[in-house]
Structure 1
């Protein structure tokens, strides 16, 4: 199976890996687009003021321009260690065993705005780019969606295994899921004490990180939706097919005093 994660705005500095090598990243079919997007980001960073406007940076974020300027020569680290924030804190890649890292490297992919679909263990630099960032202030310049969608979607369409999409809608648009059985977008919902179910906002990311960690620990080797749902039920997770007949899956999290419970208890019914 393949688990698709969104990136995060925040990223760790530094790294001990060699500079970015596009040819070593997963999904080699994306190489041409990667080269073009990286080139556009570096070119944009040559003009500090334009970069600040295009990336919508605040006064305390202008250092992000330097990150982009040096993206080709900066040190790298594994993708799951580079990204930070609620989802990645919950996933806690730093505590994965060697065996679990091997599972993650095979089964977890991050949707980068800069590099497209990248493997969990791919070595990447720190950078600043979002799905809706502009790479040029010129009118009519191609958006990241236009640059990535066809190539990213084709890369996913080549796979015939179970696809579990935990990306936000903006990032999912950069590599749309194929329209077939076994390709599922996951929506996180919360059930209150009265049984009412609603969309989950901030804790949505925590739930996705915890689910990803649980799938890695389980080996992430599920071959079908039915097998995945049986595992979830056996483990106490409320993961179900959407009632509207779509291919979406719903992860329902019980609430405790208005917010989800802590860690794994937040996912288990």
Structure 2
């Protein structure tokens, strides 16, 4: 199983790893695109006011410009440890035991606006860039959509569980030839109507991702996944349109 996660706006500072090394990142065919986006990001960081406007940063986030300016020289850490926010707090990758972290490294892919797909262990620096950020030149969608989709198509016949937000799906749709399901977190109201959640959907996705890297079972089909959820406390079901629903 491959689990696709969105990134987060917020990231931990620091790290003990050497500066950015493209050769250390998964999906090396994305490296030419990665280098191009990094160059464009650093160029924009030379005009702080313009970067803050384009990245929609308020005065309290002026330090993000410094992060972007130093993105090729700052220390790195594993991607699954770098990101913070609600989803990553629920995933809580730093507290996973050794075997679970190994599975996380194999099973997780995080879709970064700066680096495209990265693996859980991939060493990345702190940065600020979102799926809808505007750099000079082509849009991030034009940069990433086709190459990321091609990488996903090359992952073989394994089941792909897409926990990304719709904005990041747009930066790399899963091809229809891949066995994949987009996950939507829902709740049922007193009126019996199912509704999608916003803030709490991130917590649900993070908890599910943590449980999926903790299990030793090879969940090779959506039926296996739903059956696993029934015994582990995750209410999963398949919608008529093929989306996988997680009810919380």
TM-score bin, normalised by smaller chain = over 0.9
* Cα distance, 1:181–1:227 mapped onto 2, change above 3 Å: farther
Query: Is the Cα–Cα contact under 8 Å of residues 20 and 75 in structure 1 kept in the other structure?
Result: yes
2:127 matches 1:152: no
* Cα distance, 1:220–1:92 mapped onto 2, change above 3 Å: farther
Query: Is the Cα–Cα contact under 8 Å of residues 11 and 126 in structure 1 kept in the other structure?
Result: yes
Q: CA deviation at 1:215?
A: 0.5
Match of 2:60 in 1: 60
Q: Which moved further from structure 2: 49-58 or 173-182?
A: 173-182
Query: Is the Cα–Cα contact under 8 Å of residues 182 and 225 in structure 1 kept in the other structure?
Result: no
2:48 matches 1:48: yes
Q: 1:176 aligns with which of 167, 173, 177?
A: 173
Match of 2:15 in 1: 15
**SS of 2:117 mapped into structure 1:** strand
**SS of 2:118 mapped into structure 1:** strand
CA distance in 2 between counterparts of 1:191 and 1:247 reads: 19
RMSD of aligned Cα (Å): 1.2
Match of 2:210 in 1: 213
Q: Which moved further from structure 2: 202-211 or 172-181?
A: 172-181
* Cα distance, 1:15–1:223 mapped onto 2, change above 3 Å: same
Q: CA deviation at 1:220?
A: 6.2
Structure 2, unpaired ranges of 5+:
none
Match of 1:252 in 2: 247
Q: Normalised by the size of structure 2, how large is the TM-score?
A: 0.96
**SS of 1:233 mapped into structure 2:** helix
Q: Normalised by the size of structure 1, how large is the TM-score?
A: 0.89
Q: CA deviation at 1:181?
A: 5.7
Match of 2:182 in 1: 185
**SS of 1:209 mapped into structure 2:** helix
Q: CA deviation at 1:88?
A: 0.6
Higher relative contact order (CA 8 A, sep 6+): 2
Match of 2:90 in 1: 90
Structure 1, unpaired ranges of 5+:
254-269
Query: Is the Cα–Cα contact under 8 Å of residues 103 and 220 in structure 1 kept in the other structure?
Result: no
Q: Could you give the per-residue CA deviations for residues 16-48 of structure 1, whole angstroms, max 9, x where no partner exists?
A: 000011111011111111011111111111111
Equivalenced residues, count: 247
Query: Is the Cα–Cα contact under 8 Å of residues 153 and 177 in structure 2 kept in the other structure?
Result: no
Query: Is the Cα–Cα contact under 8 Å of residues 2 and 107 in structure 1 kept in the other structure?
Result: yes
Q: Could you give the per-residue CA deviations for residues 96-126 of structure 1, whole angstroms, max 9, x where no partner exists?
A: 0111110000000111000010001111100
